[in-house]
A and B are shown apart, each in its own frame.
Chain A
Amino acid sequence: MQFDTIAAISTPMGEGAIAIVRISGDEAVEIADRLFRSPSGKRLVDSSSHTIHYGHLVDPSTDETVEEIMVSLMKAPKTFTREDVIELNCHGGLVSVNRVLRLVLQYGARLAEPGEFTKRAFLNGRIDLSQSEAVMDLIRAKTDRAMNVALNQMDGKLSRLIGELRQALLETLAQVEVNIDYPEYDDVEEMTIPLMIEKGEWVRSEIIKLLSTSSQGRILREGLSTVIIGRPNVGKSSLLNSLVQENKAIVTDIAGTTRDIIEEYVNVKGVPLKLVDTAGIRETEDLVERIGVERSRQVLKEADLVILLLNGSEALSPEDERLLETIRPMDAIIVVNKTDLPQQIDIETVKQLAGQKHVITTSILQDEGVDELEETIASLFFGGGIEAEDPTYVSNERHIALLHQAKTSIEDAIQAAEARVPIDMIQIDITRTWELLGEIVGDTVQDSLINQLFSQFCLGK
């Protein structure tokens, strides 16, 4: 669809005080209203254009507050795209802005393609002729690249799975259609409401399963988010520098990506590692001190992997013990550093407190043991220590958004069926589910339904 509502993160990917998610299109305001709660309760749709609103972004499914945000409301036509535009200003940082984007996609927007805002600005007459060639180039380039990316990204297994779901839906639809178009043919079993609910439930549970893999997919895409913690002066910066210097940084092609961030994505023995909040670590040496215990817990909670550094040249402090306690439920590696100095730490106690976790001794200064640490990270990752075994990933933000929409759609169908709504109404939501899944694999050809009709059933007079 050319003129649906689109959204994207419009600030450079990386650390900034704020990040902006921009939404453009007819439903921009409506979508924002679904997620935005202002303290006064006033809805954006009732507010005047070109105003800024403070409030919270809420996940409507859980009513949980996701972010504290400022919303810029710009109604058509005096906007960049000449459509209704909403800009959600949220806290900087990949995790939070991604979550906001995901919600926006889940509640009705489509992820914008590269250059799509500019393209719309052009199509709606906002940009002049001299810029149009550039837009054409952009679309053209995008097409080629997008096709490559799509081909590479599309896990064969994922597309097979989606294909199976779609086939099941198609067969259900074909049966409904036959009942409608050939009401007197008793050759064809009547698609009953209970049968429809049963099929719907199955599709729903499969979609949920797929969605549950999306966080593992994210690891592959965004990197294994890794936090290095430890008392001041234990060698966190040195470890970071060592990891960055030894391993070639992953070069991303995200426009405007800052050097800082590039360096923080490192490839450790084939594992993409994203070192979280490392800028902070560098500056103040101590994450815990800087942001407080509560906030650090939050950062830890969101991490896929924690590396706890202990100082081997000192005895285990109560703070160390507290940190060991904190990381107990997490995927973590314990590194006893500074083996180049006389050892004071009781390694047996550390191992005991570590439980099942790996304990590695290093001298980062002398570059000893770092290799072992890297091996451990890799073995944890590939050996299933972190990642689940089923290698079906939904890693693409667009795919995730489509799956969420498909889930809503099939749930609408099930709900309608339970309320005994006529079958040809329920069909509308089933068809929609089928189309949404089709968008994931790039196939929504209407004719396939009609072909299915005649290959599946013996029809006609």
Chain B
Amino acid sequence: MPQFEAGTFDVIVIGAGHAGVEAAYASAKMGASTLVLTMNLDMIAFMPCNPSLGGPAKGIVVREIDALGGAMGKVIDKTHIQMRMLNTGKGPAVRALRAQADKVLYQQEMKRMLEDEEHLSLHQGVVEELIVEDGEVKGVLTQIGAIYRAKTVIVTTGTFLRGEVIIGDLKYSSGPNNQMPSIKLADSLRELGFDTVRFKTGTPPRVNSNTVDYSKTEIQPGDETPRAFSFETTEFITDQLPCWLTYTSPLTHQLINENLHLSPMYSGVIKGKGPSYCPSIEDKIVRFADKSRHQIFLEPEGRNTREMYVQGLSTSLPEHVQRKMIESVPGLEKAQMLRAGYAIEYDAIVPTQLWPTLETKKIKNLYTAGQLNGTSGYEEAAAQGIMAGINAASRVLGKEEVVLGRADAYIGVLIDDLVTKGTSEPYRLLTSRAEYRLLLRHDNADLRLTEIGHTLGMISDERYAKFVVKKQQIEEEIERLRKVSVKPEEAVQTIIEAAGGTALREPMKAADLLKRPEMKYDEISKVVPPETACTPDVAEQVEISIKYEGYIEKAMQQVNRMKKMENKKIPEGIDYHAISGLAKEARANLSDVRPLSIAQASRISGVNPADISILLVYIEQGKIAKISG
């Protein structure tokens, strides 16, 4: 194959899934000339599994991406068929937005956004090799011999690396949804010396919604209150489509039990490690044999299709068993199956081979993001994508790298977990992975990250100006409520009693009154009205900040303590084997991960507090030696 020079860029992104599009969008927005190479332009931002975005932790990630100036929030706001706020009955820390996506519209909208982006080029092509010289990536080589040169390269190949689809005893080389797998690029990465693991994930069958008997299901409508992920969204979709809920039947369970020997999970065909939080239906029935039924959600895949996603029925049993399984579910007795469910195995990179910027430790200027790094989920992929894009562009533009901390964002938790602890199964974000989830809320994502996005040039000045005003209003209103007194007057008592509270006996500060469990900002603002009414956004922040002050303060104390350890940097090139006193396991794991700070070191498995002490003393020793030497 003759080779030819096809162009030079600042950043090349391989792949245009959820990680790739955010990476490219971010780097282009920052002003770096960016090329996206994808096998199939029609598959940009494709959702091969569930047609939804958000939910606990993940929904907050979408908000964070938006606060940084990313694409996902804006696109889903324009293309969803339904939105719901989850966990409204619980505290503010765990509220999360979830959208059902119109898959096709989502792809189209994302593609158009990329096409419109000034510094961004899209091109269809299959990358087969990374060009690496002296431990630095220099570009990529495609199937047709095109050489693209670049200062940095971001690999976001998802589940395509040596992908294999498995249904029953059928196993064939394939990317998701029968797309081409990526074999040569996988070889290229292995030749460069990257360690990989074999992971597995799966998807349920789809049915034709015209053939569903809805009378046997429960309707699950969207929220009536208009909602949006993006802080910039001003137009809301009101025409929503419902989802439907049904359950497995005893027959479903019987069918699965009778056909377990045909399941590649149990016959040994599947060797990859699947996610425990996303088990197949056969897994659920085997592991939780005492459960008499499992929920099945029917989710439309879009407005212009009858295709319906059967959430809860993820399986890799042979197709003839899948058909019977579907028929055994109330409401689906006559359902026509459009596609069978399948499992997919793929290569993932061991993520401890990455710096927290997502640059690989082995090859300079090479970044990896998304499912390739061992995660699962569109949002997790997008989160890494935007950070890889930011850091690759920063490298080219001579800006400082950006690493979000565990107290800054779920994105920070996700990346720190990956590069510090690695993962033994496809990694999914859960709110319980965050130590400071009270600080990492859905509602304050903008307050946490807009500043960063603006500094990077990803947030427009106009949006930033609005943000500054909002922030100021919040501070002023909190300050006001701390100062102003509420007196036990007739009108005040009426409002308090109407809210279900007990009357005031003596005057109290408005902020203290707001701390009563039954009081909301709405009531407080009636009792002591502000000069100009606050927007609901501002009111929400004021209410949360005051109501949960004690808890927030406690969390902040923890954060500050951790920050101290975070600020204790570990010099590069430290030889852990030369430090006597470190435990053997600690030595090995520290050498592997090469943590950048004492805090990161302390999170590595097998590193105990005594090792940290010794490490601290060792580092301090070196500093003093340098000064005196």
Contacts and interface: CB of A to CB of B under 8 A. Distances in A.
Interface of A: 1-4, 26, 119, 122-123, 125, 128-129, 132, 135-136, 139-140, 142-143, 146, 177, 179-187, 419-425, 428, 446, 449-450, 453-454, 458-461
A421 B552 CA distance: 14
A183 B220 CA distance: 13
A119 B561 CA distance: 18
Nearest to A143: B610
Interface string B269-295: 000000111110000100110010011
Contacts of A458: 279, 284, 287-288, 291, 294
A157 B93 CA distance: 38
A461 B295 CA distance: 9
A186 B297 CA distance: 12
B295 A180 contact: no
Question: Which 5 residue pairs spanning A and B have beta carbons closest together?
Answer: A422-B91, A458-B288, A143-B610, A454-B276, A460-B278
A66 to B, nearest CB: 27
B551 A129 contact: no
Given A2-B598, A180-B90, A428-B555, 18 more contacts: A3-B565, A4-B561, A119-B613, A123-B620, A129-B625, A129-B628, A136-B581, A136-B614, A140-B580, A177-B430, A181-B431, A187-B294, A422-B92, A423-B91, A428-B554, A460-B276, A461-B297, A461-B312
B56 A183 contact: yes
Contacts of B624: 125, 128-129, 132
A428 B94 CA distance: 12
B616 A2 contact: yes
Contacts of A177: 430-432
B119 to A, nearest CB: 37
B617 A460 contact: no
Interface residues of B, number: 57
A132 to B, nearest CB: 5
B439 to A, nearest CB: 11
B132 interface: no
A108 to B, nearest CB: 11
A185 B565 contact: no
24 contacts: A2-B564, A2-B565, A3-B565, A122-B617, A123-B617, A125-B620, A129-B621, A136-B618, A140-B580, A180-B431, A181-B430, A183-B56, A183-B86, A183-B87, A184-B297, A185-B295, A423-B90, A424-B91, A450-B430, A453-B430, A458-B294, A459-B279, A460-B275, A460-B284
B80 to A, nearest CB: 17
B266 interface: no
B517 A419 contact: yes
Contact of B91 (A125, A136, A183, A425): A425
Interface string B477-503: 000000000000000000000000000
Contacts of B618: 136
A422 B617 contact: no
B314 A461 contact: yes
Contacts of A460: 275-279, 284, 314
A3 B617 contact: no
Contact of A184 (B86, B291, B565): B86
B279 A450 contact: no
A454 B90 contact: no
A139 B620 CA distance: 15
Nearest to B293: A187
A141 to B, nearest CB: 10
B57 interface: yes
B97 to A, nearest CB: 12
Nearest to A186: B295
Nearest to A432: B554
A132 B555 CA distance: 34
Interface string B45-86: 000001000001100000000000000000000000000001
A132 B579 CA distance: 13
Contacts of B435: 446
Contacts of A139: 581, 610, 613-614, 617
A384 to B, nearest CB: 39
Which residue, of B91, B554, B612, has the highest number of chain A Cβ atoms within 10 A?
B91
A180 B609 CA distance: 32
Contact of A180 (B87, B275, B294, B561): B87
Given A128-B624, A136-B581, A424-B91, A461 B278 contact: yes
A102 to B, nearest CB: 23
B620 A132 contact: yes
A180 B58 CA distance: 12
A316 B314 CA distance: 91
Nearest to B247: A186
A425 B548 contact: yes
Nearest to A420: B517
B560 to A, nearest CB: 8
B246 to A, nearest CB: 12
B50 A187 contact: no
A423 B625 CA distance: 52
B437 interface: yes
B578 to A, nearest CB: 13
Given A139-B613, A187-B295, A454 B91 contact: no
Interface string B530-563: 0000000000000000001001001100000100
A142 B617 CA distance: 14
B438 interface: yes
A422 B609 CA distance: 34
Given A119-B613, A177-B430, A181-B56, A424 B295 contact: no
Contacts of B616: 2, 123
Interface in B572-629: 580-581, 598, 602, 609-610, 612-614, 616-618, 620-621, 624-625, 628
A351 to B, nearest CB: 58
B433 interface: yes
B336 interface: no
Contacts of B610: 139, 142-143, 146
A221 to B, nearest CB: 23
Contacts of B438: 424-425, 428
B261 to A, nearest CB: 22
A122 B314 contact: no
B612 A2 contact: yes
A181 B555 CA distance: 20
Contact of A122 (B94, B581, B602, B620): B620
Interface in B87-120: 87, 90-94
A217 B275 CA distance: 46
B199 to A, nearest CB: 15
Contact of B432 (A1, A129, A140, A449): A449
A303 to B, nearest CB: 38
A428 B617 contact: no
B398 to A, nearest CB: 33
A446 B93 CA distance: 19
Given A450-B433, A460-B277, A461-B314, A132 B94 contact: no
A421 B433 CA distance: 22
B8 interface: no
Contacts of A428: 438, 551, 554-555
Contacts of A422: 90-92
Which residue, of A4, A420, A421, has the highest number of chain B Cβ atoms within 10 A?
A421
B249 interface: no
Nearest to A3: B564
B56 A140 contact: no
B196 interface: no
A453 B276 CA distance: 10
B311 interface: yes
Contacts of A454: 276-277
Nearest to B619: A123
A253 B548 CA distance: 48
A135 B617 contact: yes
Nearest to A5: B561
Contacts of B297: 184, 461
A459 B625 contact: no
Given A132-B620, A143-B610, A449-B432, A461 B311 contact: yes
